[in-house]
A and B are shown apart, each in its own frame.
Chain A
């Protein structure tokens, strides 16, 4: 019998939610690390009981926590993220050079095959890796030392590396995304990187189709089709069919193409989900209606999913890492809001119900399908 574990990071702690395959009744444990910001919690595909959590605070900095029992108990591991060599500078908001400085870990991506190996995306943007279960972290400096690095600028949320996608068909290929530098890909295990932003157009930068400088909010990939990427850019939902070499817009009939979260159905690689947000200056859904939009055609044609979601007076946001899917036969879709709700659909988005309604603002949602 399969069951599901949902890992939720919030502004004030982490929560672990479990259910059987029906996904109707949920047990919730937490808050773990109460009072701390939990940007991300994710489990190892190679050992589902091995979890990693990014725990941070404005007072006490960054901690990384590790669990070996599915989130029942945790232990702190190494929290030393030191840039390799001379960090150098990137651009500040006013265009002046600003020293690279570590602030926090936004995203933890465990290896697909080794529970001891995890990638960490950090602010100021860089990629780190541990190969000893978090006892030590080393930067993969080739990304930060990309020739364009000195020109990268932070987005409103900081200059964060927030997306890491490991290619299951090629262990040397990794995709990452940075706000507001754009998307990058390595084909040699992280030694060298190339910007993969051709086809993106961003009117808020001086050169709308520049090589870098695009505020990419999130990228998702179906593991069976690693060459196909979907992107929620600041504005625009985009698609690439050649591993990021070229992108085309697939916003289609969305009511607004601004947003943060995006994910792909576990069994239908052309079925994707986004949560349209009114604008970058408002950060809430249009018309006070919380609607997930689903495309069964890989973009362009979208349908609103509203059953069980608030359709009036709703002004929450859904952040970039706050949507995930399970891989049960009827794919479950999950997302969390800045209003503290975690919604689940056990039928691919047709019907929704809250798992929790009153958590702190949700920063991230990940799902493990356990057998």
Chain B
């Protein structure tokens, strides 16, 4: 069971409250977690990664265990503490200013 924390705007889109818990098939990676997340909450498709290229949207970040995983390969194994459920995968809207 992988724990995922979404930013508030995406929790609203998903109709979810609090932390999400996802069953992930195979090795837990950013890609496999996002696949499971989008399968469970189809409205999130396109909000975290591009529909076609599957590239992370520029102002979205992936944090876990006090590390920024955003620039790692989406197929890199997630940290053991995330896989065990001790720590969540944080999907974060970047602090990017705006108006």
Contacts and interface: CB of A to CB of B under 8 A. Distances in A.
A63 B48 CA distance: 12
Interface residues of B, number: 20
B13 A76 contact: yes
A60 B93 contact: yes
A59 B46 contact: no
A82 interface: yes
Interface string B45-86: 111101110000101100000000000000000000000000
B62 to A, nearest CB: 14
Contact of B94 (A35, A36, A59): A59
A186 interface: no
A76 B43 contact: yes
B93 A59 contact: yes
Contacts of A79: 45-47, 51
B10 interface: yes
A60 B56 CA distance: 10
Nearest to B50: A61
B60 A60 contact: yes
B59 A82 contact: no
A62 interface: yes
A57 B60 CA distance: 11
Given A76-B43, A79-B46, A80-B46, A63 B13 contact: yes
Interface string A3-17: 000000001000000
A59 B48 CA distance: 8
Nearest to A360: B99
Contact of A61 (B7, B43, B46): B46
Q: Pick the most buried of A57, A61, A82: most chain B CB atoms within 10 A of its CB.
A: A61
A62 B46 CA distance: 8
Given A36-B9, A82-B51, A59 B43 contact: no
Contacts of B93: 59-60
A157 interface: no
Contact of A58 (B48, B52, B96): B96
A80 to B, nearest CB: 5
B45 A59 contact: no
A367 B45 CA distance: 31
Interface string A31-75: 000011000000000000000000001111111000000000000
B26 interface: no
Contact of A63 (B47, B51, B52, B57): B47
B18 interface: no
Contacts of B60: 59-60
Contacts of B10: 60
Given A11-B99, A82-B52, A61 B47 contact: yes
B98 A58 contact: yes
A5 B55 CA distance: 40
B51 A80 contact: yes
Contacts of B94: 59
Contacts of A80: 45-46, 51
Given A76-B13, A80-B51, A82-B52, A59 B59 contact: yes
A38 to B, nearest CB: 13
A59 B96 contact: yes
A51 to B, nearest CB: 17
A342 to B, nearest CB: 20
Nearest to A75: B43
Interface string B6-30: 0101100100000000000000000
A14 to B, nearest CB: 14
28 contacts: A36-B9, A57-B9, A58-B59, A58-B98, A59-B7, A59-B9, A59-B57, A59-B96, A60-B10, A60-B13, A60-B48, A60-B60, A60-B93, A61-B46, A61-B47, A61-B50, A62-B46, A63-B13, A63-B47, A76-B43, A79-B45, A79-B46, A79-B47, A79-B51, A80-B45, A80-B51, A82-B51, A82-B52
Lowest 4 A-B CB distances belong to which pairs?
A60-B47, A76-B43, A59-B59, A59-B93
Interface of B: 7, 9-10, 13, 43, 45-48, 50-52, 57, 59-60, 93-94, 96, 98-99
